Structure 1
Amino acid sequence: MTSADRSLARRGLLTAAAALSGAALTGTGGARAAEARGTAWPDRFPLPDGFRPEGVAIGGRPFAYFGSLADGDVHRANLATGRGAVVVPGLGAGHPTVGLKIGRGGRLFLAGGDSGEIRTADARTGETEKVYATGGTFVNDVILTPGAAWFTDSFAPRLYKVVLGPHGAPLAVETLPLSGDWVQGPDFTANGIERTPDGSALLVVNAFADGGGLMRVDPRTGAARAVDLGAARLPNGDGLLLLGRILYAVQQQQNAIDVFRLNAAGTRGTALTRITDPRFRIPTTVAAWGDRLYLPNARFDVEPTPDTDYDVVAVDRI
């Protein structure tokens, strides 16, 4: 590892630790203050009928952002009340929003699914800022690192890197082919993406290789190595969330979140527990605020209509 790589890893670790402790203190404090006032933050709230949610992102304030597979809208909900509204209008049918993350200054990074697009938008003004045509087949999920936004492609062995300039402004898009242990399946393969605890590499769900699991990807070369999860498998692995060294992996069709403790380099993980809940209706992705995890129910087991109801559920963190 070069000195620059060590610096990046250290910055990533410090940033993650600061974000985690800030969210834990602010979020938990907000929930406790609400309880002191005789109120409680909802652990379930609705999304608009026909919305078809998939991704979720929570930034430095208690607001969650959800992307729509129907038309690409981004809906923002207040976690204290569950109430919300569309803050970024989508580009219409054929331009879904799958995974999403919120960065500096309220900039949203949106994965465009089968449109092959990567989009950025301003959550404050609702303006779509940039649309990148990747030529990809299904741009699925995204993670932010200090200098880039990384996106997965579910039907091709590659990642997309949006280089970030000063103040997190998006610049050029680069393509990183995946190699090493990466095995591309005939159907959805790459899905959720995260960073290793030490910030030196990326973690990507591979739902096909060896029955489904995680790959640790070198962001410089694209070389992938299978993460040792023991006997655990992620055949339905979708969204990932790393808090410290605890990794939450949503197994959508199983209505479950599998929880692992990773080593610092992200080469090995130990299964800790499985979170299930009778309110799960095929959750896809997960984000945290305070001591809670928030998951949108995608309901992939029903034929979507404009009247299909959707919701978000909250469960306790480990």
Structure 2
Amino acid sequence: MALEDRSFARRRLLTSAAAAGGAALLGGTAHAAEPRKKAWPDRFPLPDGFQPEGIAIGSAPFAYFGSLANGAIYRASLATGRGSVISEGPGAGHPAVGLKIDRHGRLFVSGGVGGDLRVVDSRSGRTERTYAVGGAFVNDVILTPRAAWFTDSFAPRLYRLALDRHGRPGAVTDVPLGGDWQQGPDFTANGIERTPDGSALLVVNVFVGGGTLMRVDPRTGTATAVDLGGAVIPNGDGLLLLGRVLYVVQQQLNLIDVFRLNAAGTRGTAIARITDPRFRIPTTAAAWGDRLYLPNARFDVEPTPGTDYDAVAVPQV
């Protein structure tokens, strides 16, 4: 089986913006909740055959979705649900997996089996930079004031893309993962976020303990298991932190587990579980106003050019 096919098959098997109050190292800013017309759709279509995975929402009410099929980027208006492809992508074998957008309109894209990181101008759709890091599956990304951090699902390391004070990307370095981190036989790391106080990173490890949230020191790569009071996240995919509330999308379980974290991100308490009959294996989440928006990846079906996809919105906790 080809590596690309094996990677996506393994994802199916294992799976059977930004918060306020960030501090110095990894702090961030969040847009204020905006008024939302009642008519705004809570479900809207994505292009047939698109194979969505990641989602990003910036300072305007538009959602950006990445395609596993060819790395294309689709932009949809949250007000109308209508959208269009703004970037055709680099083609088959170079998917767009995780996505984040900064305040300058730059999209940071995880290249999956393409083994690269990309920076795309959300206005023109032009790819500004491509970094070939050789990763087997570059999965998800989170932005901090001085870096974009990417997970690799098949290797115990993170990629750190340095950002200058204007958010412009610089060099990429590897940060090996140690401490409590254990690498599974193949697919291991998934979603990534930061702690509420901005001092560390949070990374999903689907191998350790049947699914564990790890707190990672960005300086050393040392990982420590987060105490979630016995809760496990076997299908943990995208992470979204709003204040001290962490949303963990458990994709093939068709639910979102919600935890309240302490400031340092060393402990969390389960406070809610979000389910919805419209979920068809959602993978990642982004926030606007009082809603969460999620693409349905439909990993339980064999994708074809005619397979239908959509995005859904649910209320925040």
TM over 0.5: yes
Cα contact 2:26–2:200 (8 A) shared by 1 = no
Q: Which amino acid aligns with 1:282?
A: I
Alignment correspondent of 2:271: 272
Aligned counterpart for 2:23 among listed residues 3, 6, 9:
9
Greater helix share, structure number: 1
Q: Deviations over 1:248-290 (max 9, x none)?
A: 0000010000000000000000001110000000000000000
Cα contact 1:23–1:60 (8 A) shared by 2 = no
Match of 1:225, SS state, is: strand
1:61-100 to structure 2, matched below 5 A, reads 61-100=60-99
Q: Which amino acid aligns with 2:195?
A: T
Alignment correspondent of 1:193: 192
Cα contact 2:146–2:165 (8 A) shared by 1 = no
C-alpha deviation, 1:10, in angstroms: 4.1
Cα contact 1:213–1:235 (8 A) shared by 2 = yes
**For this pair of structures, how many residues does the alignment match?**
296
Alignment correspondent of 1:121: 120
1:202-213 to structure 2, matched below 5 A, reads 202-213=201-212
Match of 1:163, SS state, is: strand
1:41-52 to structure 2, matched below 5 A, reads 41-52=40-51
Give unpaired runs (5+ residues) of structure 2: 1-21
Alignment correspondent of 2:52: 53
Cα contact 1:202–1:218 (8 A) shared by 2 = yes
Q: Deviations over 1:167-223 (max 9, x none)?
A: 111100000000000011113110000000000000000001011010000000000
Q: Deviations over 1:126-152 (max 9, x none)?
A: 110111010111000000000000000
CA RMSD of aligned residues (A): 1.1
Cα contact 2:59–2:103 (8 A) shared by 1 = no
Work out whether 1:138 is the aligned partner of 2:147.
Answer: no
Match of 2:273, SS state, is: strand
Alignment correspondent of 1:255: 254
Q: Which amino acid aligns with 2:32?
A: A
Work out whether 1:230 is the aligned partner of 2:229.
Answer: yes
Residue range with higher mean Cα deviation, 181-190 or 72-81: 181-190
C-alpha deviation, 1:166, in angstroms: 3.4
TM-score, scaled relative to structure 2:
0.92
Match of 1:224, SS state, is: strand
Work out whether 1:23 is the aligned partner of 2:12.
Answer: no
Alignment correspondent of 2:19: none
Give unpaired runs (5+ residues) of structure 1: 1-7
1:294-305 to structure 2, matched below 5 A, reads 294-305=293-304
Percent sequence identity over aligned pairs: 73
C-alpha deviation, 1:23, in angstroms: 3.0
Cα contact 2:53–2:295 (8 A) shared by 1 = yes
